Amino acid sequence: MTGIRSGDGQDAVRRDLVIGVDVGGTTVKAAVFDSDGLEYSSSKRLTPRHLGPDAVITTIIDAIVELRAQLPEAARVRAVGLVVPGLVDAEQGIAIYAANIGWQQLPLRRLVAEAVGLPVVLDHDVRAAGLAELELGSGRDFQEVLFVALGTGVAAAVITRGQVFAGATGRAGELGHLPVFPEGEWCACGQRGCTETYASASALSRRYSAASGISDVSAQDVISRAVDGDPTAEGIFAEAVAALGRALVSYVLLMDPELIIIGGGMAASGEALLYPLNREVQAGLVWRPAPPISNGKFTGDAGRRGAGLLAWRALQEPGL
Ligand SMILES: [Zn+2]
């Protein structure tokens, strides 16, 4: 149970709602939630990032306006939770930087709040997804969790003592940029051998294409081909598992989690990924047991669910 309830029964829950919006590099996903996390309606549209930040903001506003317009008259949207990738100053409501969308130092919370006439809370997409899994999904009843989003990039939400941890400057959880192979391939971030360079969905696809000459093979297909015995796919997938395994071994040694949750698009590969990954992490930990690694409950919907939770949380704070 999260969020506010006015105490006068089910009707009040149905009247009071929030909208959660998850802005990704590919899609903008939005949904209406009540205080129990029940989803009433949802929408998904492409992120027009090639048209620039203004077009992306317009898409966010359109998504909110459209969902609100579809609700019955008695329903009242109380707030909007908005989560975005990259660097976010949640306190100031600023989207500081996102390489895959192209905005910099954007006062996104204010811009959206003014346009839709609702209080808006802004936060980081992967931390919000981790929060959704912690409160409503696979991480329920756990206190020490690592949520890993494997998608276009690799990022994580560090959860300790039942709270999502952002770090001193909001940069905690950059599992994708742990340099796991010191002499490895260059990463777009400027370092060498980052986890993301080997283990993200785009890395699997790109590396398979470079090695085989076959383009447009998705990460999921690379994993399927590896399972089917394609030696090139096997090699690429084994390196991805090794890179991710090393990063997770480091995290386990440092933070001693009870559970590691895999989310993001690559979670769709299920046991084909989880089985070798569990084995890799167990093999990498010599003197201590490995925590279980399992899939999240919400997969691609975790971000907007977390955004909804953040909106309810913000409503409980004075001053919004
Ligand atoms: Zn990097």
Distance between Cα 180 and ligand 1 center (Å): 10
Cβ(82)–Cβ(23) below 8 Å: yes
Distance between Cα 56 and ligand 1 center (Å): 25
Tokens coding 134: 């912690």
Distance between Cα 275 and ligand 1 center (Å): 26
- Model confidence over 188-229: pLDDT tens digits? 889 999 999 999 999 999 999 999 999 999 999 999 999 999
Question: DSSP state, 192?
Answer: B
What is the mean pLDDT of the segment spanning 149-176? 94
Distance between Cα 91 and ligand 1 center (Å): 26
Distance between Cα 190 and ligand 1 center (Å): 6
Q: Which amino acid is at 5?
A: R
User: Residue 12: CB partners within 8 Å, gap ≥ 6?
Assistant: 5, 6
Distance between Cα 243 and ligand 1 center (Å): 12
Strands in 143-270 per DSSP E: 145-150, 154-160, 163-165, 259-263
Q: 120-124 and 76-84 as β-strands: parallel, antiparallel, unpaired?
A: parallel
Distance between Cα 179 and ligand 1 center (Å): 7
Distance between Cα 84 and ligand 1 center (Å): 19
Question: DSSP state, 276?
Answer: H
Query: What CA–CA distance (Å, rounded) separates 198 from 185?
Result: 8
Helix residue spans in 106-230 (DSSP H): 108-116, 125-136, 195-199, 201-212, 219-227
Q: Is 254 helix (H, G, I), strand (E, B) or coil?
A: helix
Distance between Cα 16 and ligand 1 center (Å): 42
pLDDT band at 320; cut points 50, 70, 90: low
Where do we find the tokens 């808006």?
Answer: 120
- Model confidence over 13-38: pLDDT tens digits? 468 999 999 999 889 999 999 998 89
Distance between Cα 133 and ligand 1 center (Å): 26
Distance between Cα 188 and ligand 1 center (Å): 6
Distance between Cα 226 and ligand 1 center (Å): 25
- Model confidence over 263-317: pLDDT tens digits? 998 999 999 999 999 999 999 999 999 999 999 999 889 999 999 999 999 999 8
Q: What is the pTM of this model?
A: 0.91
Strands in 185-275 per DSSP E: 259-263
Distance between Cα 282 and ligand 1 center (Å): 25
Confidence at residue 141, expressed as pLDDT on a 0 to 100 scale:
93
CB atoms near residue 282 (< 10 Å): 15
